[in-house]
Amino acid sequence: MPPGLQQDVRYDLADGTARSMPTADRPQMSSPSAEDEATTAPPTTSTRRRGFSLGNRPPLTGVRALALFTVLIYHSNFHTLPGTWVALQIFFVLSGFLITAMLSAEGKRNDRISLRNFYERRAARLLPPLLLTVGLLAIYASIVHVADAAQRVWGDSAAALFYYADYRQALGHAPFFGYLAQTWSLSVEEQFYILWSLLMVIAIATHRAKLAYFFAIAGLLLSAGDRLFLVLGAHPFTNVTFMRIYYAFDPRADALFAGCLLGLLAADGWLTGWGTWAKAVITTLAAASTAFLIWILIYAPLFSRDVALWWIPLTTIASVILMIYFVVCPTSLGAKFAGLGVLVFIGDLSYTVYLLHFPVYLALQPNQTGWGFWPTELARLAIIFGIAIASWYLMEKPLMRWRAKNAAKLGAGSVPSARGPVAA
């Protein structure tokens, strides 16, 4: 890139990828309302609301990298940052927000939502890295003896591929230290994608915008109520109770539905046109939320009744506040930090890194290598990021380009033309 030519990181809703584009090459964005400009009428609140677009939102990808770092640190020794479960709250809220913003944009643009296109986009984004991980794990298990491989390798692989790993964990059927134990959270998200896309299709097909809000609020309340029922009904509260609450879709979906509600508000323009005072308030709340989440990281380990009763819902609220802050204050210091190029790049890799890290950590342990913790950890990270980067450039990005080319042939209505970050 020639010196002095500014880069702009933009995102593709269909691809789920962050891309750097020279400013000079950026497509010119249309104004919020061309008709209003033509009549020279001053912009109104409703005009501003119609102008919302995910557009250039690097912090929404960079924050994934920050959350990923905590997961890598905790899983390296299962001691440092015991409250790393909070990273999943951020992922859940972000996923609900992004998927809803995408589906809402498609519904408003086409007056319908294509479930086929939605599921094809999700499959093209999610399945290749998952199949790569399962394939590499199968090769490893065929070379190296793995104790209880039937459950820890093949059982985990089936649960990951068919997205029932969450209930396998929640109901106590998962093995101790399965090689794909971390995929329970991906199962939660996939089950959500199926349910929420159907609900959004109903809302758009009936032309009742408020119905989507009803679905989001109802889902949030039902999930939170389910979790509360499980906590208060447990006498005594045991690790078995905690696992049922922590790993299953039904008591964890409230964070996803909170993100859905936020996505609906954003799509209807409620996150645009904020004044200076309102931005100052959300900035203050975001700073307090960040401090709270850091406290949780350090002092809120798993298997506590307080986590299930108090900290999960409160961290969901804190995560929602952070998402609002990143959208409303994109030029703020915090948003600029989360949107650093290196964080955005790692955020793009985060899905593949998340899939790879746990089996690599189990396969390469300090007591097996005899290298000590730090040499082993550096070797782990080199393998994980080496494979993830190779996957990104050799498989994922080419697949995204191929899909974009096919989408262009089919016409703009088949795949969202807007650009914005997408949850993996």
pLDDT tens, residue order, the chain (424 aa): 433 333 333 333 333 444 443 333 333 333 333 333 333 333 344 444 545 677 668 999 999 999 999 999 999 999 999 999 999 999 999 999 999 999 999 998 899 999 999 999 899 999 999 999 999 999 999 999 999 999 999 999 999 999 999 999 999 999 999 999 999 999 999 999 999 999 999 999 998 889 999 999 999 999 999 999 999 999 999 999 999 999 999 999 999 999 999 999 999 999 999 999 999 999 999 999 999 999 999 999 999 999 999 999 999 999 999 999 999 999 999 999 999 999 999 999 999 999 999 999 999 998 888 899 999 999 999 999 999 999 999 999 999 888 877 766 655 444 433 334 545 5
Question: Is 132 inside a domain boundary?
Answer: yes
Q: What is the pLDDT of residues 350-405, one digit of tens each?
A: 999 999 999 999 999 988 888 999 999 999 999 999 999 999 999 999 998 888 77
CA distance 253 to 190: 11
Question: Is 281 inside a domain boundary?
Answer: yes
Best CA proximity match to 341, nearest among 19, 79, 117: 19
Q: Quick one: pLDDT at residue 331?
A: 94
Question: Is 131 inside a domain boundary?
Answer: yes
Question: Is 421 inside a domain boundary?
Answer: no
Question: Is 394 inside a domain boundary?
Answer: yes
Q: Are 182 and 357 in contact (CB under 8 A)?
A: yes
Q: Quick one: pLDDT at residue 29?
A: 33
Question: Is 417 inside a domain boundary?
Answer: no
Question: Is 388 inside a domain boundary?
Answer: yes
68: domain range? 7-27+49-410
Give the number of other Cβ atoms within 10 Å of residue 126's Cβ: 20
pTM score:
0.86
Task: Give the torsion through C-alpha atoms of 99, 104, 107, 112, to 10 deg.
Answer: 50
Burial zone of 79 (CB within 10 Å; 0-12 exposed, 13-18 middle, 19+ buried): exposed
Q: Quick one: pLDDT at residue 408?
A: 67
Q: Quick one: pLDDT at residue 395?
A: 95
The DSSP 8-state label assigned to residue 83 in this structure reads T
Question: Is 42 inside a domain boundary?
Answer: no
Q: Quick one: pLDDT at residue 51?
A: 54
Split into its structural domains, the chain has a count of 1
